[in-house]
């Protein structure tokens, strides 16, 4: 068995040694003060996160996909981020995918042994049809998860871009990867509970990877998610409000415009701004790669 005692995420946090003796208010204060350090840790990885986004965008532009691979909390966070992209940015569910050790059952209950399978990680990459066009982000906050290492090695052998995300200074992937993102969040408030600070850092970084990549794919105009899918009343309301803000139309006109644009916010904006019909707006957007700003400038 590998000795993980020297990993910073497994060490004791001197700021919470007596946390079991504290009042609820004091416990909350300790947790909040430790969480505040996560932002700084993530910010120090600005350059590596930027490089990672650039590679992800290049994968998308070539027709590739983004895969997150992890176990436990890391795997769940990857699946969560992947599942939020279709409703937020109107992406194909196959474009960004989460792979978790233990499969779907591991999303709602702990299947701890699954993370120990190096071969399982390799198999998951093969079963998901990863190719040289894709990017694979292996998430292991402690940095030692065999399932993640196996996945990264297999992905690299296929020619995929590989990115390793961990929160320890002394752990590396089993083989070379294109980028390592390493926010050092320090010892956890509860020793070894990496669902806390390390998990928070992971969530922040995954949010940044996909959001920045989607912006660079034309999914955002100004700071509006203009490729959202109008599939329920909340999203219909949001779509109408986006159109109202961009075009200065009132609610009734925005609703009518959205209907004429067949529930496509981008097309609605271009139709209004350029005073063109649906087909013309659609064509302009296609010619501009889906970027609203470019379509309006054309």
Give me the catalytic one of 34, 45, 115, 240: 115
Instruction: Identify whether 282 is a catalytic site residue.
Output: no
Catalytic annotation present for 286: no
Kindly give the pairing relationship between strand 96-100 and strand 135-139: unpaired
Which residues, 6+ apart, have CB-to-CB distance to 66 below 8 Å? 56, 59, 60, 82, 95, 96, 97, 134, 135, 137, 209, 210, 213
Tell me the C-alpha distance between 126 and 271, whole Å: 44
Q: Residue ranges of the alpha helices (H) in 158-277?
A: 197-215, 233-247, 251-260, 265-274
For residues 237 and 228, give the distance between their C-alpha atoms in angstroms, rounded to a whole number. 11
Dist CA 101 CA 114 (whole Å): 5
Considering 26, 34, 45, 84, which one is annotated as catalytic? 84
**Chain mean position to CA 118:** 24
Catalytic residue numbers read 84, 115
């Amino acid at each position: 068995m590998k000795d993980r005692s020297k990993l910073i995420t497994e060490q004791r946090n001197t700021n919470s040694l007596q946390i079991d003796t504290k009042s609820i208010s004091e416990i909350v204060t300790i947790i909040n003060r430790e969480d505040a350090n996560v932002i700084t840790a993530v910010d120090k990885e600005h350059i590596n996160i930027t490089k990672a986004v650039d590679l992800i965008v290049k994968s998308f532009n070539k027709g590739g996909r983004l895969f997150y691979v992890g176990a436990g909390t890391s795997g769940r966070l990857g699946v969560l981020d992947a599942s939020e992209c279709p409703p937020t940015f109107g992406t194909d569910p196959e474009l960004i995918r989460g792979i978790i050790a233990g499969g779907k059952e591991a999303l709602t209950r702990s299947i701890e042994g699954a993370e120990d399978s190096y071969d399982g990680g390799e198999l998951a990459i093969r079963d998901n049809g990863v190719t040289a066009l894709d990017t694979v982000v292996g998430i292991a906050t402690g940095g030692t998860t065999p399932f993640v290492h196996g996945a990264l090695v297999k992905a690299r052998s296929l020619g995929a871009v590989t990115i390793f995300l961990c929160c320890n200074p002394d752990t590396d992937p089993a083989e070379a990867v294109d980028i390592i993102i390493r926010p050092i969040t320090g010892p956890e408030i509860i020793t070894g509970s990496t669902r806390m600070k390390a998990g928070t850092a992971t969530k922040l970084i995954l949010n940044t990877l996909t959001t920045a990549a989607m912006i660079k794919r034309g999914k955002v105009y100004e700071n509006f998610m203009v490729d959202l899918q109008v599939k329920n009343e909340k999203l219909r309301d949001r779509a109408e409000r986006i159109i109202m803000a961009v075009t200065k139309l009132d609610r009734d006109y925005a609703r009518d415009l959205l209907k004429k644009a067949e529930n496509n916010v981008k097309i609605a904006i271009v139709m209004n701004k350029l005073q063109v019909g649906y087909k013309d707006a659609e064509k302009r957007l296609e010619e501009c790669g889906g970027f609203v700003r470019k379509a309006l400038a054309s």
